[in-house]
Amino acid sequence: MNPILRKGMCIVSALPIAAVLVVGVLPVTATLADSIFPLGDRVPVHTIKEEYVPFKGSGQIPYRPELLFEQGDRFLDTGKLDAGFEVPLLGAVWQPRLWSYVINRTALQTFDNHAAGTERETEIANRMDLFVNLQLTGTEKLLLGLRPFDNNLPRRFSRYSLEGANKGTTNELNIDVETLFFEGDVGSLLPNLDRAGMTPVDFGFTIGRQPIVFQEGILIADTIDAVGFVRNNLVFPNTSNLRISGMWAWNRLDRNDRARGVKANMYGLFGFVDANISSYNLDAILVDDNGNGDGFYLGASSIQRLRGWGGISTAFRINSSFALEDEIGGNVIGDGTLVTAEISSLVAGSDDIVYFNTFAGIDNYTQAGREQILGGPLANTGILFASPNLSTHGAEINPFTDDVVGFAMGYQAFYDHHRRNLILEIASRKATKGESDALGLGFQLQQAVGRRVQLQLESFYTFQENQNDASGMRFEVQVVY
């Protein structure tokens, strides 16, 4: 008898036995799973209370931590608002408030950089994001952002290196302006244009240096000098909201080459619609660059929660890049498409989340712009593809897409009323052309301490083809004030 046919008959004859085993094992497996999961705290299903719950007044509302600096009406405070003043000619009533806050991150981290023959890096590094917000109204504000301890390149962070390249102290203190933009609403800023409230002048606008993120950072994730307009809440059949925005940027666009370009002009048109079942995004960017070459970028996404599937949420995205001139290596400009799918679900009886994110890169997909220390297009896939954005510690698995498929699968557990959470993840990428396969294991533990401090511990190990296995660990203290 043909060996293949014999093997097939054996499989068919074994099916009834297998079915009996499955039926017998399933209840045991389900019971075992119920005893293990959820990993986090069990949370009962909350129902609407039948008894009267009185409103909390002054002195009963929980303490609100103050910002670093607050002048004028306090941030999220209670009490009477300042009357403000009317601006001559404009007709707007301004209630100026000046708020300042800071996010400081200090990390002790050790890792290798994945390449054969290179040294392990061990360092203490720091990053501070300092913001000053001048709030004029509920819609108009001027925001200044500084990063006084780094210059936005992996080796240009204030740090002390214990081992690896450039041992010793690196000082990157500066007062460079990282963020400075004004945003508002035309109708709110110039109410004299439409006293009756009938003229469609409610256009949102922004101008200045600001972070721009579309398609969850897959299409663009950069800080650039730009001006943009948005029209929200447009009426469209079978939708609750239609939003259309446009943007022009003229400076600081990073074409994935760690060089902030001054010759590139970026033109963007972005659309969002909230429909009955899904939310859809369609985004397009054209880059006219006299230095690196022109490119066109297109992204589309669909985000939805599946009804009747036990709380499963999904997000599907497809992003494409087109080099209008020659392709430039090093993930600068290329022709390619990246398809991603994100699937997540709550774990019954808890707030825990289980997720499975997968991707397929066809040819060489590149982003329209990417801030220097961020991960590549796959940074949103999982913690093993994401960069911590702090000094030389990059993504644990290569986050760029050049003929590659892969996934990230993980579990996030919550404890102590969400003051502590743990992520366990396994992730992999496999090249469909060439050899750059990798399989990684990692965890991330976050713990809140008081009202202003968060501790974070994470570690990883990756098995890599044609390269040494990589490993590392980070301990970070984040202070928000």
Q: Which of helix, strand or coil describes residue 185? A: strand
- C-alpha–C-alpha distance, residues 372 and 83, integer Å: 44
Where does 89-171 show beta strands of DSSP type E?
Answer: 93-94, 97-111, 121-135, 141-146, 159-163, 168-170
* 36-50, 223-237, 465-479: the lowest-pLDDT one: 36-50
For 420, the token pair is 């502590």
The whole-model pTM stands at 0.88
Q: What is the pLDDT at residue 34?
A: 67
More reliable by pLDDT, 94 or 235: 94
Task: Answer yes or no: is pLDDT of 199 > 90.
Answer: no
In the block, which residue shows the tokens 């040819």?
363
Q: How confident is the model at residue 205 (pLDDT cuts 50, 70, 90)?
A: very high
Contact yes or no for 106/125 (Cβ under 8 A): yes
- The full set of domains in the chain, from first to last, is 64-480 (2.40.160.10)
Q: What is the pLDDT at residue 21?
A: 38
What is the b/e burial string over 411-420, where b = at least 16 CB atoms within 10 angstroms of the residue's CB? Answer: bbbbbeeeeb
Phi first, then psi: give them for residue 25, nearest 5 degrees. -85, -30
| CA-closest candidate to residue 336, choices 363, 369, 300 | 363
Q: What is the pLDDT at residue 382?
A: 96
- C-alpha–C-alpha distance, residues 91 and 123, integer Å: 55
- C-alpha–C-alpha distance, residues 377 and 115, integer Å: 21
Beta bridge partners of 328: 333
* Measured torsion, CA atoms of residues 370, 372, 376, 379, in degrees rounded to the nearest 10: -100
Q: Which of helix, strand or coil describes residue 323? A: strand
- C-alpha–C-alpha distance, residues 212 and 249, integer Å: 10
- C-alpha–C-alpha distance, residues 149 and 241, integer Å: 41
| CA-closest candidate to residue 436, choices 406, 410, 460, 472 | 406
For 382, the token pair is 């999982």
